[in-house]
Chain A
Amino acid sequence: EVQLLESGGGLVQPGGSLRLSCAASGFNFRNFAMSWVRQAPGKGLEWVSGLSHSGATPYYADSVRGRFTVSRDNSKNTLYLQMSGLRVEDTAIYYCAKCLSDYDSDGYGFDHWGQGTLVTASS
């Protein structure tokens, strides 16, 4: 059974940093691209960042480029999102999602999602 378990969320002051983790199990992690998707309170889904199966090809939404860094450790079956320069508008539930392909650009979609971790940027 595929499982994605996010952790690392919490309350942080604007300008602060957090690192999110997504522990994956139940599939061959190194074969699939992974993404982070967020949802602000009462709002829709917003893709944040994605990373190819090998970790060589990262992608970012314009809203986070230069502030967030995505990475993965295929030996630990874990995806990360290092967030710095956090803003109030970054407040959201952050979901980890497994792609159906090894590269995001194939556009096949996401077949599994974690339960999410809440990030709150507030003073």
Chain B
Amino acid sequence: QSVLTQPPSVSGTPGQGVTISCSGSTSNIRKNPVSWYQQLPGTAPKVLMYRDNRRPSGVPDRFSGSRSGTSASLAITGLQPEDEAQYYCATWDDSLNAWVFGGGTTVTVL
């Protein structure tokens, strides 16, 4: 059981928008920024978003992030076939003194 809760899967057709939620608690998401990672099969994770809503260079602007209260979300607008991957949220937990990850969400492009 992960400390952060994500839906196991979301799907959409090319061009549609999808949102992945990440639910935490007062000791993690309420207090600390959230980052998001994309992992393609057989590869290392890659950062998509850090400090809630900052995109590294090279990440398309159709990816956006937000945080409010004890939840965060990653939105993908204009879904592309290459977006099919596993996505993870992460943040620091002040009670555990540890990084915590969500269980991961599989994005499927129909």
A residues near B (Cβ < 8 Å) are: 35, 37, 44-47, 50, 59-62, 95, 100, 104-116
Contact = CB atoms under 8 A, between A and B. Distances in A.
Interface centre among A59, A61, A110, A115 (most CB of B within 10 A): A110
B44 A59 contact: no
B101 A115 contact: no
B90 interface: yes
Interface of B: 2, 32-33, 35, 37, 39, 44-47, 49-51, 56, 86, 88, 90-92, 94, 96-104
Which 9 residue pairs are nearest across A and B when measured between Cβ atoms? A109-B35, A107-B92, A107-B32, A109-B50, A47-B99, A44-B104, A113-B44, A45-B101, A44-B103
Contacts of B49: 109
Contacts of B33: 107-109
B50 A108 contact: yes
Nearest to A116: B44
Contact of B99 (A100, A104, A113, A114): A104
Contacts, number: 74
26 contacts: A35-B99, A37-B99, A44-B86, A44-B101, A45-B37, A45-B39, A45-B45, A45-B88, A45-B90, A47-B98, A47-B100, A50-B99, A59-B98, A61-B98, A62-B96, A104-B92, A105-B92, A105-B94, A107-B32, A108-B35, A108-B51, A109-B49, A109-B50, A109-B51, A109-B90, A111-B50
Nearest to B88: A45
Interface centre among A44, A61, A106, A115 (most CB of B within 10 A): A44
Contact of A100 (B39, B50, B86, B101): B50
A110 B35 contact: yes
Nearest to A100: B50
A62 B93 CA distance: 13
Contacts of A116: 44
A115 B49 CA distance: 20
Contacts of B88: 44-45
A113 B45 contact: yes
A27 B36 CA distance: 22
Given A44-B101, A47-B98, A110-B35, A115 B44 contact: yes
